Amino acid sequence: MYATLVATAERSHAQIVVCDVRKIYAATHRTTSLLSLPDATEHVAIAAYLKYGLNNAYSGNKLYARSCWQKYRYQRMVYEDLDILLDMLSCCERVAYVQQPFYNYYKHAGSTTLDYTNPRLFDIMTAYQDAIEHAKVTYQDAVTYCVAKRILINLATPGFADYLAEFIELIRQLRPTFEASPSIMSDPAIKKNL
């Protein structure tokens, strides 16, 4: 895994090299792998990756240049990677993508991000707000679109049903930002749900 990611970073001069994620559900031994982007490339269109790429807020499926961590630190929260990664990606000059599921993400029954009963999950609201607030201006629209899309995914996730009021309040708070996003306003499916 790392040899391939390092070689790609050296060839492309990318600050971040992304690979795909293989999700392994421990209880059922079921696995899923989804492509992060349609094609492997050493020059990812960062706005497109932020808007449409899968796995863009996981931290384990990426190799980072040391310089990426000069500005960023994980916060003490469940969604610590979501809190900084969209911002970090928005500050990159170059991102590369290796189309291989090198990163194994194990999902265990009863864990915080599968059980949805831990009140610490509320920090997803903070992570979404931070992602939009801290994104580089060039990619503000792409990050805002990504957050809106993720909120709709959360609303469709059965475990998050208990947090419906909090998500509605978050949408209300972010409404001016969503309405100022050209990408959201031109996407009828997202626009009508927000």
Phi-psi region of 179 (alpha: psi -120 to 50; beta: other; left: phi over 0): alpha
Task: Tell me the pairing of strands 95-107 and 62-64.
Answer: unpaired
65 close to 18: Cβ distance less than 8 angstroms: no
Q: Check residue 66 and give its pLDDT.
A: 96
Return the structure tokens found at 128.
């979404």
Supply the pTM of this predicted model.
0.91
143 close to 132: Cβ distance less than 8 angstroms: yes
Residues facing residue 41 across a β-bridge = 97
Burial class (CB in 10 A: 0-12, 13-18, 19+), 39: exposed
Residues 6+ apart with CB under 8 A from 73: 84
Q: Check residue 162 and give its pLDDT.
A: 80
Q: Check residue 114 and give its pLDDT.
A: 66
Return the structure tokens found at 194.
């927000």
The tens-digit pLDDT sequence of the chain (194 residues) is: 899 999 999 999 999 999 999 999 988 999 999 899 999 999 999 999 999 988 888 899 999 999 999 999 999 988 899 999 999 999 999 999 999 999 999 888 777 666 666 666 778 999 999 999 999 999 999 999 999 999 999 888 887 888 889 999 999 999 999 999 999 999 999 998 88
